[in-house]
Amino acid sequence: MRAAGEPRWVATILSSSLLWHAARLALVSAYLLGGLVKLFDFAGAVAEQEAFGLRPGWLWASLAIFIELGGSALVLADRLVWLGAGALGMLTLVAMLAANAFWAASAAERWMLTNAFFEHLGLIAGLVLVAMLSSRTRPSS
C-alpha cells in the first residue's frame, strides 16, 4: 500500500525484502562489531567498562557482549525482535548515561558528548521502530 503522493518507484523500493534485511543489518552493525571486538579483547572490554565507572567490569563486559551479539541475532533473524531491540536499546541507554554525560562535562568536551548522546538517542528510536515494523510486517496467524 502506497502513502498518498508517494511515487510508485519509492513504494517499490520501500517494500523490498532486500531493503528490509539490509536496513536491519545496518541498524545492528555497530553492535555486532562492538560485541565481536569485546569478545576477542575481553581484557580491553573490562577496562572500558571500568573506565566508565561500571563495576565489576567483567560482569558489564559480559552483559554487553551477550546483549550486543544476542540482540543483534534476534533482530537479524526477525524473531523476538521486541526482545532483541529492547535489550539493545537498554544497553544503549546505559552507555549514553555512562559515557556521554554531557551535562557533567567541561565546556571543551560538552559539544562532542552532547552530539554522541543524541546520536545514541536516535539509535534507540531506530530500534523501537524496527520492533514496531517487525510485528506489522509478519503475516497474521
User: Is 85 within 8 Å of 72 (Cβ atoms)?
Assistant: no
- How far does CA 34 lie from the centroid of its chain? 11
Res. 138 pLDDT band, cuts 50 70 90? low
pTM here is 0.90
At 21-49, the pLDDT tens digits run 999 999 999 999 999 999 999 999 999 99
Give pLDDT, residue 122: 97
Q: Which parts of the chain fold into alpha helices (H)? A: 8-14, 17-40, 42-51, 57-77, 81-99, 107-137
Among 43, 48, 53, smallest CA distance to 98 is for: 53
Whether omega for the bond prior to residue 56 falls within 30 degrees of 0, making it cis, is yes
pLDDT tens-digit readout, 44-69? 999 999 999 999 999 999 999 999 99
Please provide the average confidence, as pLDDT, over all residues in the chain.
Answer: 94
Domain boundaries, the chain: 25-137
From CA 138, how far away is CA 119, in angstroms rounded?
29
DSSP assignment letter at 104: G
Nearest alpha-carbon partner for 34 in 74, 102, 78, 88: 88
What is the Cα Rg of the chain in Å? 18
Nearest 5°: the CA angle 114, 51, 54 is 90
- The three cell numbers of residue 30 are 555497530
- Binned at pLDDT 50, 70 and 90, residue 140 comes out as very low
- φ, ψ of residue 110 in degrees (nearest 5): -60, -45
- State the Cα–Cα distance between residues 29 and 102, nearest whole angstrom: 25
Percent of the chain whose predicted confidence (pLDDT) is above 90? 89
